[in-house]
Structure 1
């Protein structure tokens, strides 16, 4: 820190907030810590009684926070995002379109472990819309070493940036309603309406609701026909338990679909099944989806509709945060359900 005549301080970095008081009008910081003094600032500072200022003296190899934060932005920013102007070494990223925010949490952790830099994001796999804040990042001190910034860049690497938004791709779905009791009209089908409503929230239309009964061959044949007909998502409702009459898992497997996971560490939703017939998701929904306010389907549906291919490890990670508290007033997604993961 060095003391400089205000007239000679152009280009220097202010070390602390400087308050301007105009009686009856304002009392606030006119210049913030880290501000770089310009020619236009000199008469304002003099009017505030600041004939001298304390300025930050950057040593060789040190970078001012406003310039340094660009390294964090480059590590994070991807398509469908815009950045805010730099303010006090801080930048925010906002979405420019709807989709699912995906975060490389391992690289994020490594960068935040360095110290002197920070990146705070929304939770991984959050559904976002244009204008939503995705992340905020800043340099902690007024100046940071280039060596530290090089470490950030090294962790970011040449891979895709840490943040990405996957736009929604799936536009239509076929629902297969299992259960002989539904097919025979003994009970009303209330399951498909629940699924239709959840899909409609994402602009996905249902092109067919087919009552297959419990015949395994009939379910398998319906899956194949839905695939051949161009459906981009196939959902089988019910028949997911271990009862002898529940044929859905075997029928899905017999269709040639590649099983990713049958069972999940989520309540409600433990008997959920996810598979792929070529690149088309084929889901087996447990009965809880029909009556519970929020289930595993609410956690995974956005990713499936955005074309994010699920792995068994993605399902296993849901256990942390996978317990719905069944609150009297549901605030999902603004709650802990599904916000854990790794």
Structure 2
């Protein structure tokens, strides 16, 4: 592609490099200059125009952006129409956005003419949300450059993993003196949290905060793939009440604790194909915390186990809250 000033009389069919007023009209950048445009410019004494002129083998910006976006679009994604060298990739469903950062980097590294921007990986999105955008920076790219970028893009597919409708059970354990309104509020918060990923709370029961009664309650909920346990006190050890009850009910503990804050004290267990999850105390709040990261992966059909949780540290410091009692802003140690 050629770019620069050319005599007005030689600019027919070229793309106007910058927006410019010619006669009574304001022509936008990228406007294809016709004979009428040039006649008006000449009559106004405009001797030259800054234009882009495509050369043999060049692919115009809209077509180039479309080809790249088509190569990138995986399941759960559709494309917008190209405009000014830009194509958006749009979620077709509620779900979890997924991409490989290294693959996105490789597409962007192929040529400075290409700009691919995405959301952070594993972010929940709604149907209709823009999850990525492709922008061709100049007005055209050479065909061989585009071909290489398209091949790179095939390995960088962008997807939205749709949330499946999950049936979820909730068990709340009770210590003497705890008010009934605490249990009602926890159930309401849990129901709203599940609603964000299209899941339904089908059981809400309470039992004593003791291994035997809790194990029996877990065993009773065989009809749901996910059981959540809101403990009357925090789980701090694998021998504590919630992990011990999961084991007593025939399960195993994949992970106790996660490198996510809020949400450190989550307990991930399994009984066969069922997930049994001891909730961190912050799950009583509607604010986003570690349990959301786990539930979103389950609803999206993505793997979740102790190894996956161990890798959640980068990005695991979630939005801070003013009502947390631990030392926060303004209370750092002198060291």
Q: Where on the TM-score scale, by shorter chain, does this alignment land: which range?
A: 0.7 to 0.9
Shift of 1:220: 3.2
Shift of 1:44: 4.4
Runs of 5+ consecutive residues of structure 2 not aligned to the other structure: 325-335
Structure 1 counterpart SS, 2:71: helix
Q: For residues 53 and 95 of structure 1, what CA distance do their matches in structure 2 show? A: 41
Using a 3 Å threshold, how does the CA distance of structure 1 residues 209 and 114 change in structure 2: closer, same or farther? same
Q: For residues 28 and 285 of structure 2, what CA distance do their matches in structure 1 show? A: 57
Partner of 2:69: 73
Partner of 2:78: 82
Computed over aligned residues only, the root mean square deviation of the Cα atoms, in angstroms, reads 3.4
1:64-121 CA-partner distances (Å, limit 9, x unpaired): 3222223320232234433222222221122233222222222112222333211111
Count of residue correspondences = 313
Using a 3 Å threshold, how does the CA distance of structure 1 residues 44 and 221 change in structure 2: closer, same or farther? farther
Does residue 323 (structure 1) correspond to residue 323 (structure 2)? The answer is no
Counterparts of 1:127-166 in structure 2 under 5 Å? 127-157=124-154, 162-166=157-161
> 1:266 pairs with 260, 266, 291, which one?
260
Shift of 1:218: 3.7
Does the CA-based 8 Å contact 2:268-2:278 persist in structure 1? yes
Does the CA-based 8 Å contact 1:72-1:137 persist in structure 2? yes
Does the CA-based 8 Å contact 2:16-2:32 persist in structure 1? no
Does the CA-based 8 Å contact 2:246-2:276 persist in structure 1? yes
Counterparts of 1:106-255 in structure 2 under 5 Å? 106-116=102-112, 117-157=114-154, 162-179=157-174, 181=175, 187-188=179-180, 189-190=182-183, 191-227=186-222, 229=223, 231-238=224-231, 240-242=234-236, 246-255=240-249
214-223 vs 163-172, greater mean Cα deviation:
214-223
1:155-204 CA-partner distances (Å, limit 9, x unpaired): 334x6x6211122213421101124x16xx65434333332232234443
110-119 vs 245-254, greater mean Cα deviation:
245-254
Runs of 5+ consecutive residues of structure 1 not aligned to the other structure: 331-342
Does the CA-based 8 Å contact 1:66-1:88 persist in structure 2? yes
Using a 3 Å threshold, how does the CA distance of structure 1 residues 46 and 131 change in structure 2: closer, same or farther? farther
Structure 2 counterpart SS, 1:309: coil
Shift of 1:302: 2.8
1:237-289 CA-partner distances (Å, limit 9, x unpaired): 12552369832123324445464432111122111123444443321112232
Using a 3 Å threshold, how does the CA distance of structure 1 residues 226 and 54 change in structure 2: closer, same or farther? same
Q: For residues 142 and 268 of structure 2, what CA distance do their matches in structure 1 show? A: 48
Does the CA-based 8 Å contact 2:11-2:51 persist in structure 1? no
Q: For residues 129 and 88 of structure 2, what CA distance do their matches in structure 1 show? A: 10
Using a 3 Å threshold, how does the CA distance of structure 1 residues 186 and 19 change in structure 2: closer, same or farther? closer
Q: For residues 154 and 66 of structure 1, what CA distance do their matches in structure 2 show? A: 18
Q: For residues 304 and 173 of structure 1, what CA distance do their matches in structure 2 show? A: 11
Partner of 1:285: 279
Q: For residues 244 and 169 of structure 1, what CA distance do their matches in structure 2 show? A: 31
Partner of 2:18: 17
TM-score norm. by structure 2 comes to 0.77
Using a 3 Å threshold, how does the CA distance of structure 1 residues 277 and 169 change in structure 2: closer, same or farther? farther
1:23-72 CA-partner distances (Å, limit 9, x unpaired): 6xx7x4x2423x555xxx44345345479766544445543322222332
